Structure 1
Amino acid sequence: MTGLLVPEYRIEDLAHASGATVRTIRGYQDRGLLPAPERRGRSNVYGPAHLGRLRQIADLLDRGYTLASIKELLEAWDTGRGLGGVLGLVAEVHGPWTDERAGRITLAQLVAKFGGEADERAIGEAIELGVLERIPGNDDEFGVPSPQELAVAAELYAAGVPLSAIAGQLRELRGQVEQIACRFLEFTTEHVFARYLGHRPPTDADADDAASMVRRLRPLAQQTVDVELARAMRMFATQYLADNLAVDALAGTVPAARNEVSVSLPASTIDAVERLVGPDGVGAFIAAASEREVNKRTLDSLASPAHRD
């Protein structure tokens, strides 16, 4: 019985099989990421191990690792330390962080949800924000990474909020949520994951333990935000209601007027607000925006390290 033939590649064949360029393969060799080929006369011969290594490098690059980090991982592998635990940890972190499933929506359905007329500018902004995704070769349908997020936008639009205001609010909210995520990650890294990831690369056992901890802690961030958001919404909604529906007004009398001052604003600002909410809503909009900014700065001040110290 004859043994199976082991595939052999010239560098051009290896590039074709792996999807890398010849220049990239040579660059990996120079960096020590790829073992040297076997020399046969004037030719260099590569084998399945080289192809596997190239695919492994491509996968780690897609997951956001730098070449320097990949080199450390591969050196650990080459010295006999397994990468199973590390790759398991990578898969855990890169896995879904929500049970929500992506969906699709046709252009006709999208138009029907948002006013009945196609708004190319709004669609472009939604794609830029990642609310919609283009489907290659299909101009009549879009991918929807988060159907819940799109549904929220549709409800706000139906309630009278302009699309430009919805997009602006999403940008602002996303920045604030990313800040919360960053702080939670720093917190858990300092107090939990440092013990597993203190040496690079971690051992298989430490990586397995860290992956298990990710599974346990993953829902905690969302649960904490849900609880705190509900608390803050109740607090500010109660205050807002008290400010706008004072006791005197509820009793049928005219509430005492607050001290009012005149503030000069650029004409361009007034025009922009009028286009957004109409001439009758300019004063209320600017007052609400100012109050929200004051509340935001107060919360930022309370959450700052200097305040906690």
Structure 2
Amino acid sequence: MRIGDVAAATGLTTRAVRYYEEQGLLSPGRTPSGHRTYTSADIRRLRTVSELLQAGLTVSDVRSFAHVLDSAPLRDPSGAGEPDRCDVAEVAQHRLGELDQRIARLSSIRDGLASQLTNRFGDLFAPAPAPGPAPASAPVSRPGNCPAADGT
């Protein structure tokens, strides 16, 4: 299978497929003339890599445990491959910890901003409502002469 077919099958671009190869996440075969050839196992690996990246891991994270991407399922009841599972767990816990720290920092910044706006502007400051359309029967009230975000 050629790179264009793999890109179509995985929803990636040909450039992304080449990039993942450059990063050591994929090792396609080669024809005698040097063209890349891909197997169904390569497609499975690329889908796994893509899902892990979309979930929030980095290329570096995935590269650190790329050696287990094609192995038996991680929940192997026999306990085989336990050291490999530790690699995955360590990377995942590190990334989750970093995300938790970022969330806490952003929540603190948001709370500080809301507090400052309330202290500074009092009744003029009304927190933004939750996303979603307002009920048709409820009038939209804005303090003072504040225009809506759409300019109305």
Question: TM-score, structure 1 length as denominator?
Answer: 0.25
- Higher alpha-carbon Rg: 1
TM-score normalised by the chain length of structure 2: 0.48
Q: Greater helix percent: which structure?
A: 1
